[in-house]
């Protein structure tokens, strides 16, 4: 804490500087001033917290100086150290804001105690001011959060209060624009043990020192409201500030900017579009900075997997290889990621359809072999995990399906395993010999036990399984009848129609019409 001594007597000012051990009490004594005029010139530059001054000096008096200092620097502690023990002087000094009045005959310990009392008052005021500012910051942030989350368009009174609380965001029509950024610190690039919340705060404060902006903690991210001048540099100042903050904190972020606005009344539009852009963190994470205009025109991808994709998935699950499943999932996810029309919502819906297809395949396999035990639907899919870690989440849930299938078939008979194999290859013309080979049996012996366990010969069973699949597709999909026939291995439509009518009593068209 800095101390300045002001006295026109060289012996007094030198003595006060040298006789008293200021440093041991936590003070730094500045070069003493020989007059009030000299002190007033140096105070704005050196900013002492405590000033000891005589009253009667050549030129301006100590009380004149106290008056001027208190006007410009009201928190400065002023202590009179005078050779006059007069009540009138002390009374006037107190009116001017002097906090202590000492005589030049005071002992060194009395002078240092006066300085320590002044120091304590300064620290208490600083603490009180900091607490007040902290409370005001909390109130202001609560106001800003309420404004952002409100569904109502901000009225005039709300905008006035916003400008009062956040003068940095005050906009001039035709001169300024506003952007909302949502910045997410990427966990895999974050170094050190700091919490994300703490890191967000440091990040926001650092950027605030570079840009006219305000920040809020926003879920696990940082919400940045930036006022920009309408100028050719566009995003560049914000991107530059974000990059500097990343370098300072040794981290990497994904930053999403909403639609730029020129009227504070449109702040909700800026927020909602920023949130929408931030949802692309996984899809466009390689870009790191994304603005709403870049993704606004995306229409989304197909949200239901095709029959062919279901069949490919079934093949992966049936194979029972974790490595193959992981590679297959990675390929699926990467394919979607490369689709220029993909949106977070359509992407998640598509992945959900794959999970449903996996469980549906497992149920069909269980039914085909008469599996009596109940099947687990697995853990509930965490939508947030599916959005932020799609590949790992999809693999985790499909691995559970694969494990259940492996457990289910491990206790089944060769015929039951053959039935599952047939159900998975209804689009092919599987011969009895091929199926027998799959379950490692002699074809003749396999034919005998197949009829014994199913009550049908191989050809009857396969034909009926194909036709049941066709019925299911006619009920549940918009596929053309020719496509349905091809899907179960029949290219001859007349032959397919004849078999279908013989089995159901109706043509395929009639059957679909009554569904």
Task: Give me the half-sphere count of Cα atoms (radius 13 Å) on the Cβ side of residue 132.
Answer: 6
Give the residue carrying structure tokens 């606004």: 296
CA 396 – CA 403 distance, rounded (Å):
11
What pLDDT shows up at residue 188? 61
pTM attached to this predicted model: 0.63
Give the residue carrying structure tokens 């300064």: 122
Residue 322: other Cβ atoms inside 10 A: 12
What the block records as the tokens of 317 is 């699950």
CA 324 – CA 320 distance, rounded (Å):
8
- Chunked mean pLDDT (size 10), the chain, 515 residues: 93 90 92 95 95 91 92 92 72 81 89 93 88 80 90 90 89 88 78 76 92 91 91 73 90 92 93 94 81 93 90 89 94 91 94 92 82 68 84 92 83 83 86 90 90 90 91 88 91 92 91 84
Crossing angle of helices 307-319 and 322-337, in 10° steps, is 150
State whether the Cα torsion 465-467-468-473 is positive or negative: positive
What pLDDT shows up at residue 412? 78
What the block records as the tokens of 140 is 């202001």
Report yes or no: 277 and 285 within 8 Å, Cβ to Cβ.
no
Which candidate, 192, 224, 189, 231, places its Cα nearest to that of 210?
Answer: 224
What pLDDT shows up at residue 232? 57
What the block records as the tokens of 257 is 């900017």
The SS3 of residue 178 is strand
Which candidate, 435, 426, 424, 492, places its Cα nearest to that of 458?
Answer: 435
Residue-range domains of the chain with CATH: 2-124 (3.40.50.2300), 172-295 (3.30.70.270), 307-509 (1.10.10.60)
Residue 309: other Cβ atoms inside 10 A: 16
Q: Where are the alpha helices (DSSP H) in 226-300?
A: 236-249, 267-278, 292-295
What pLDDT shows up at residue 284? 83
């Amino acid at each position: 804490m800095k101390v300045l001594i002001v006295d026109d007597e060289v012996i007094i000012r030198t003595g006060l500087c040298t006789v008293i051990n200021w440093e041991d009490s936590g003070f730094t004594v500045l070069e003493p001033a020989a007059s009030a005029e000299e002190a007033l010139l140096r105070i704005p530059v050196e900013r002492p917290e405590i000033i000891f001054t005589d009253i009667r000096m050549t030129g301006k008096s100590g009380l004149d100086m106290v008056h001027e200092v208190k006007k410009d620097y009201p928190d400065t502690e002023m202590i009179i150290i005078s050779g006059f023990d007069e009540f009138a002087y002390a009374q006037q000094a107190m009116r001017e804001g002097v906090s202590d009045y000492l005589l030049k005959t005071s002992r060194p310990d009395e002078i240092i105690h006066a300085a320590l009392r002044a120091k304590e008052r300064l620290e208490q005021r600083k603490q009180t001011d900091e607490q007040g500012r902290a409370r005001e910051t909390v109130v202001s942030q609560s106001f800003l959060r309420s404004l952002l989350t409100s569904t109502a368009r901000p009225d005039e009174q709300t905008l006035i209060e916003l400008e009062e609380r956040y003068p940095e965001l005050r906009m001039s029509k035709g001169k300024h624009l506003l952007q909302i950024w949502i910045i997410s610190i990427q966990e895999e690039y974050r170094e050190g043990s700091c919490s994300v919340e703490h890191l967000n705060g440091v990040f926001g404060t650092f950027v605030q020192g570079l840009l006219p902006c305000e920040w809020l903690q926003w879920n696990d991210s940082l919400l940045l409201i930036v006022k920009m001048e309408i100028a050719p540099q566009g995003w560049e100042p914000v991107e530059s500030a974000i990059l500097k903050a990343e370098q300072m904190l040794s981290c990497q972020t994904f930053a999403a900017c909403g639609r730029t606005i020129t009227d504070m009344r449109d702040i909700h539009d800026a927020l909602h579009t920023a949130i929408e852009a931030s949802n692309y963190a996984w899809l466009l994470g390689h870009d790191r900075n994304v603005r709403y205009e870049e993704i606004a025109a995306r229409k989304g991808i197909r949200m239901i997997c095709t029959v062919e994709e279901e069949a490919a998935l079934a093949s992966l699950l049936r194979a029972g290889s974790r490595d193959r499943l992981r590679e297959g999932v990675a390929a699926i996810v990467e394919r979607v990621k490369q689709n220029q029309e993909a949106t977070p919502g359509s992407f998640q819906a598509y992945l959900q359809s794959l999970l449903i297809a996996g469980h549906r395949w497992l149920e069909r396999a269980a039914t085909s072999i008469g599996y009596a035990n109940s099947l687990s639907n697995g853990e509930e899919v965490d939508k947030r995990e599916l959005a932020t870690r799609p590949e790992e989440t999809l693999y985790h849930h499909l691995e559970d399906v694969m494990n259940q299938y492996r457990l289910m078939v491990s206790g089944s008979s060769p015929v039951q395993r053959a039935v599952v194999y047939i159900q998975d290859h209804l689009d092919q013309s599987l011969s009895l010999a091929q199926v027998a080979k799959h379950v490692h049996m002699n074809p003749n012996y396999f034919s005998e036990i197949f009829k014994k366990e199913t009550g049908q010969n191989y050809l009857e069973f396969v034909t009926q399984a194909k036709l049941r699949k066709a019925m299911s597709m006619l009920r549940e999909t918009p596929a053309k009848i020719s496509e349905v026939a091809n899907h179960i291995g029949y290219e001859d439509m007349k032959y397919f129609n004849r078999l279908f009518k013989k089995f159901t009593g109706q043509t395929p068209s009639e059957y679909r019409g009554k569904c």
